[in-house]
Chains A and B, each alone.
Chain A
Amino acid sequence: MSNTNSTDKDAGTGLRTTDRAMDRVQASLRKRYRAEKRFRAYGLISVVVGILFLFVLMASILAKGYPAFRQTFVTLDVYLDAAVIDPQGSRDPAVLRVADYKRLIRNSLQEIFPQASGRSDRRKLVALISNGAPFQIQGLVMDEPSLVGQTLTLEVPASADLDMLMKGRIDRSVPETQRRLSDAQIGWVDTLIEQGRVHKRWNKALLSNGDSRDPEMAGILGAAKGSFYMLVVTLVLSFPIGVAAAVYLEEFAPRNRWTDLIEININNLAAVPSIVFGLLGLAVFLNFFGMPRSAPLVGGLVLTVMTLPTVIISSRAALTSVPPSIREAALGMGASKMQATFHHVVPLAIPGMLTGTIIGMARALGESAPLLMIGMVAFIVDVPQGFMDPATALPVQIYLWADAPERAFVERTSAGILVLLAFLIAMNALAIYLRRRFERRW
């Protein structure tokens, strides 16, 4: 109504105003386009910088990490001497288990290098072979006691020092005293290479072993399984609890001071430093409930508490974004509140809820601080077989390896990061797949 009035009043002066207005528009137009161009450039630059950083990071990790997937092996003819393994001839597993297999390796090396006869020479010679090699032979003999007395051609893992030499990580030109391998050892290695006894193979140990003091025997499997068990506990607990809490708060709870208080607390919890949750886990789960130390179950519980706020907040956001017309439609049909919520609202919110859960899980996967307090930052050799076995987690393993003095652990650290990233990518891929699936249903 008022619009009509104003147009009438301006009619007399209309033409002149329009001309001037167009001039001004033209003038401001160029400025506007320049601003837009500038803004686009800023955006593009930041994207490029981001990609560059990511590229440098990935390239450096890949370059450092990929050699860890190759390991040097030495082919030896090992004579399974009955006099060494089982002098009594009982073939008792107890006897076979404790036999001195290291001596067999030393003997076979000495056959190749008869001149190295002194005590220290012999020690240096054996140092070329991994401490894991005797266990490999032990395993063979325990499985098949009839092998005793035969000569086997075996590929045994080389020690980390030999491996490093093969990968060019030990500089032959530096003085002998500053090297981990002596001139004599390097000479023997060269002979072994000449005889074609040294090969690089796929490093099975890295993906199938638990942690070890010896880099060449150290593997990521223990940590990966620990992380896996922990995430299973976290997912199984945090998804249903988080979604249920979000649905209740968003759809059913009355709006009053109490729900406001709860909401504020949930939002604040999402910002609490993760180590605090570790302390909470220590106080509540270990000390009060007496749960086992270092167990993935406890780790999972702590991470559940940590991820719950994230899951609740994102699930609530997903529920809010469901159009109210859907709720009205269902309620207008005579659906009860619960039917409207679970038949129509929650299915539409599920993709968003999954996204939030996955973000929470990804964060949980990368956490090491809360695990510090509940004993999961530990040197654990055995691969955990269940939720109650002592275990560690991938980021913790990476930290432990990064902290180790041996040169060979450097590449394993990067390899560990690669495994962690692979874990993450797999999880995200699963999330995207699930989201697509649920979205397609509608």
Chain B
Amino acid sequence: MEVTTMSRDRQAGSQAGARATPRATASSFFGSDRSSDVPDMTVGAIEHDDPVFSCRAVDVFYGDKQAIFDVNLDIGRNQVISMIGPSGCGKSTFLRCLNRMNDTIDIARVTGRIELDGQDILDSKIDVVPLRARVGMVFQKPNPFPKSIYENVAYGPRIHGLARDKVELDEIVQTSLERAGLLKEVKDRLDQPGTGLSGGQQQRLCIARAIAVSPEVILMDEPCSALDPIATARIEDLIDELKENYTICIVTHSMQQAARVSQRTAYFHLGYLVEVDETDKIFTNPIHKLTEDYITGRFG
């Protein structure tokens, strides 16, 4: 689905206007004039009192195609914010901007400002290595390294030099696995390959791996989409516990999940951030029609 090509005339964003494509493309997928319903400004409350991330006028381009249009969003500290929206709406793309994972895609270009504690991380002088240590990531498909469970968790601390000796490293591995709720299941087989675990366990191993480097923020890109409901429930409980110490941004396709785990919810549509607000408010009393359509399951 070439959602990125679909844009609408919007005078506010200069780049967006310049790259507008015929409306017919958009309507072929989303019925009549869906795209014209996107508001000029994000509705709801984009600001937060204590933001970890503060994103302003973020645009993302893949080559000539624009994937994200003028996103403004604050992400609050020690909160769970979920990003929802139909496939191809740019929520994952936006998430990947937050730790500059888009750098790994040659043709991707990000403009605007994304401040992490007041520092613009899009600045080319910013070193992505410490940034990614501060902003960890859990991916859609569980992707443990093809190494032992211990090595998986120990890898981050080891490359960042977080442990002075073996004893400290063991401790980090233990606590990380404990926090990820995996320790009980694997403590007798730390030397076995991480790829031998079940899907849900693998995903929790990936979470343990991410928190082993003590990040401030954990980005989760549809972490439960490959898991069964029981494993999903465990991950959700885990997210609930982790928010005490970490800020979590989660992209999800499941509105129930967003409602269960997050305090704030952002709704993306065709690369625009349509609405962002307290989760309760989004799900009970959405302001924008598109948001309402989506959460009531009318499309998407």
Bound CA–CA A326/B142 (angstroms)? 10
Number of residue pairs across A and B with beta carbons under 8 Å? 68
Chain A residues with Cβ below 8 Å from B210 are 332-333
Q: Is the CB of A329 within 8 A of B130?
A: no
Q: Is the CB of B159 within 8 A of A335?
A: yes
* Given contact pairs A255-B106, A334-B132, A442-B193, A329 touches B145 in the complex (Cβ within 8 A): yes
Q: Is the CB of A442 within 8 A of B146?
A: yes
The reply to whether the CB of B101 lies closer than 8 angstroms to some CB of chain A is yes
The reply to whether the CB of B141 lies closer than 8 angstroms to some CB of chain A is yes
Bound CA–CA A354/B138 (angstroms)? 32
The reply to whether the CB of A344 lies closer than 8 angstroms to some CB of chain B is yes
Q: Which single residue of chain A is at the shortest CB-CB distance from B140?
A: A325
B-contacting residues, A314-337, CB 8 Å: 323, 325-336
**Chain B 242-260, CB within 8 Å of chain A: the 1/0 string?**
0000000000000000000
* Given contact pairs A328-B104, A343-B155, A334 touches B130 in the complex (Cβ within 8 A): yes
Partner of A326, one of B31, B143, B209: B143
B-contacting residues, A1-43, CB 8 Å: 1
The reply to whether the CB of B160 lies closer than 8 angstroms to some CB of chain A is yes
The reply to whether the CB of B86 lies closer than 8 angstroms to some CB of chain A is no
Chain B residues with Cβ below 8 Å from A325 are 139, 141, 143
A-contacting residues, B110-149, CB 8 Å: 128-133, 136-137, 139, 141, 143-147
> Shortest distance in angstroms between A3's beta carbon and chain B's nearest beta carbon?
14
The reply to whether the CB of A348 lies closer than 8 angstroms to some CB of chain B is yes
Q: Is the CB of A333 within 8 A of B213?
A: yes
The reply to whether the CB of B276 lies closer than 8 angstroms to some CB of chain A is no
> Shortest distance in angstroms between A344's beta carbon and chain B's nearest beta carbon?
6
Chain A residues with Cβ below 8 Å from B136 are 332-334
Chain A residues with Cβ below 8 Å from B195 are 442
> Shortest distance in angstroms between A4's beta carbon and chain B's nearest beta carbon?
13
Q: Is the CB of A326 within 8 A of B130?
A: no
The reply to whether the CB of B206 lies closer than 8 angstroms to some CB of chain A is yes
Q: Is the CB of B160 within 8 A of A334?
A: yes
Q: Is the CB of B159 within 8 A of A348?
A: no
Partner of A328, one of B128, B139, B159: B139
Q: Which single residue of chain A is at the shortest CB-CB distance from B103?
A: A331
The reply to whether the CB of B156 lies closer than 8 angstroms to some CB of chain A is yes
The reply to whether the CB of A46 lies closer than 8 angstroms to some CB of chain B is no
> Shortest distance in angstroms between A349's beta carbon and chain B's nearest beta carbon?
12
The reply to whether the CB of A191 lies closer than 8 angstroms to some CB of chain B is no
> Shortest distance in angstroms between B171's beta carbon and chain A's nearest beta carbon?
19
Q: Is the CB of A329 within 8 A of B213?
A: no
Bound CA–CA A332/B156 (angstroms)? 10
Q: Is the CB of B146 within 8 A of A328?
A: no
Most buried by B among A331, A344, A348: A331
Bound CA–CA A323/B160 (angstroms)? 24
For chain A, the bracket of interface size reads 20 to 34
For chain B, the bracket of interface size reads 20 to 34
Q: Which single residue of chain B is at the shortest CB-CB distance from A442?
A: B146
Q: Is the CB of A344 within 8 A of B106?
A: no
Partner of B209, one of A255, A333, A339, A348: A333
Q: Which single residue of chain A is at the shortest CB-CB distance from B137?
A: A332
Bound CA–CA A254/B106 (angstroms)? 8
> Shortest distance in angstroms between A327's beta carbon and chain B's nearest beta carbon?
7
> Shortest distance in angstroms between A316's beta carbon and chain B's nearest beta carbon?
17
Q: Is the CB of A332 within 8 A of B145?
A: no
Bound CA–CA A328/B132 (angstroms)? 11
> Shortest distance in angstroms between A8's beta carbon and chain B's nearest beta carbon?
17
> Shortest distance in angstroms between A233's beta carbon and chain B's nearest beta carbon?
34
Bound CA–CA A130/B131 (angstroms)? 80
Q: Is the CB of B99 within 8 A of A332?
A: yes
Q: Is the CB of B156 within 8 A of A333?
A: yes
Chain A residues with Cβ below 8 Å from B131 are 334
> Shortest distance in angstroms between B217's beta carbon and chain A's nearest beta carbon?
12
Q: Which single residue of chain B is at the shortest CB-CB distance from A322?
A: B146
Bound CA–CA A325/B225 (angstroms)? 15
Bound CA–CA A325/B159 (angstroms)? 19
* Given contact pairs A255-B106, A334-B213, A348-B146, A328 touches B129 in the complex (Cβ within 8 A): no
Bound CA–CA A328/B142 (angstroms)? 11
Q: Is the CB of A334 within 8 A of B133?
A: yes
Q: Which single residue of chain B is at the shortest CB-CB distance from A333?
A: B156
Chain A residues with Cβ below 8 Å from B104 are 327-328, 331
Q: Is the CB of B147 within 8 A of A442?
A: yes
**Chain B 184-225, CB within 8 Å of chain A: the 1/0 string?**
000000000101000000000010011001000000000000
Q: Which single residue of chain A is at the shortest CB-CB distance from B29?
A: A1
**Chain A 426-442, CB within 8 Å of chain B: the 1/0 string?**
00000000000000001
> Shortest distance in angstroms between B106's beta carbon and chain A's nearest beta carbon?
6
Q: Is the CB of A332 within 8 A of B159?
A: no
> Shortest distance in angstroms between A323's beta carbon and chain B's nearest beta carbon?
8
Chain A residues with Cβ below 8 Å from B156 are 333-334
Partner of B129, one of A323, A336, A343, A442: A336
> Shortest distance in angstroms between B159's beta carbon and chain A's nearest beta carbon?
6
Chain B residues with Cβ below 8 Å from A255 are 106
Bound CA–CA A332/B128 (angstroms)? 10
> Shortest distance in angstroms between B172's beta carbon and chain A's nearest beta carbon?
13
Q: Is the CB of B141 within 8 A of A332?
A: no
* Given contact pairs A325-B139, A339-B159, A331 touches B145 in the complex (Cβ within 8 A): no
Chain B residues with Cβ below 8 Å from A331 are 101, 104, 132
Most buried by B among A1, A329, A335: A329
Bound CA–CA A323/B145 (angstroms)? 11
A-contacting residues, B247-279, CB 8 Å: none
Chain B residues with Cβ below 8 Å from A335 are 129, 155, 159
Bound CA–CA A332/B159 (angstroms)? 13
Q: Which single residue of chain B is at the shortest CB-CB distance from A344?
A: B145
Partner of B101, one of A332, A339, A348, A442: A332
Chain B residues with Cβ below 8 Å from A254 are 106
Most buried by A among B101, B132, B136, B141: B132
Q: Is the CB of B101 within 8 A of A330?
A: no
Q: Is the CB of A328 within 8 A of B155?
A: no
Q: Which single residue of chain B is at the shortest CB-CB distance from A323?
A: B143
Bound CA–CA A335/B31 (angstroms)? 44
Using a CB–CB cutoff of 8 Å, the interface residues on chain B facing chain A are: 31, 99, 101, 104, 106, 128-133, 136-137, 139, 141, 143-147, 155-156, 159-160, 193, 195, 206, 209-210, 213
Using a CB–CB cutoff of 8 Å, the interface residues on chain A facing chain B are: 1, 254-255, 323, 325-336, 339, 343-344, 348, 442
10 A-B pairs with least C-beta separation: A334-B133, A332-B137, A334-B132, A325-B143, A442-B146, A329-B143, A333-B156, A334-B129, A336-B129, A335-B159
10 extra interface residue pairs, beta carbon distance < 8 Å, beyond A326-B146, A335-B159, A442-B147:
A255-B106, A326-B143, A328-B137, A328-B139, A329-B139, A333-B156, A335-B129, A336-B159, A344-B145, A442-B195
